[in-house]
Amino acid sequence: MLGGFGFILLFLTIGEAIALTGIGLPGNVIGMVMLALALAVGVVKLDAVKPASDVLLKNLAFFFIPAGVGVMVHGKVIAANWIAITVSVVVSFLVVLVTVGLMQKLLTRRRLRNGPRNGPRDQSEKPS
């Protein structure tokens, strides 16, 4: 499990270093994308990071505490800009909702056209 944390921290550190160049993205996002690519390509095996990622996901609620404290500390700023914040939250929600709906529609059409990609999922779906 320590090796998994090591991989996660390594990619986080690399992402933070890249972010210092002024790329315009947060280092943690860059590191997460790089780790996802490394997992997809096979440079990092899933078994190496899964135990560490499971621990992090089980304790995910603790990572929201700093954000909640930040909201409480900056309550006056939020109160002064509540209209802009509300509009941005509603608009971003609608953009995500429409995007996910369109992607689901596209992927469903593609699957119906091409058929299942990996064959039957369980015993009840065996081809005849």
Flag whether 97 is in a domain: yes
The Cα–Cα gap between 21 and 15 comes to 10
**Phi-psi sector, 120: left (phi>0), alpha (psi -120 to 50), beta:** beta
Same domain, 46 and 98: no
Contacts of 66 (CB under 8 A, 6+ apart): none
Q: What is the pLDDT of residue 114?
A: 86
Predicted TM-score of the model (pTM): 0.59
Flag whether 42 is in a domain: yes
Domain holding 105, by residue range, is 75-115
Average pLDDT over residues 86-109: 96
pLDDT in tens, 30-40: 999 999 999 99
Task: Give the count of domains, the chain.
Answer: 2
Same domain, 8 and 54: yes
Among 12-16, 79-83, 85-89, 122-126, where is mean pLDDT lowest? Answer: 122-126
Flag whether 98 is in a domain: yes
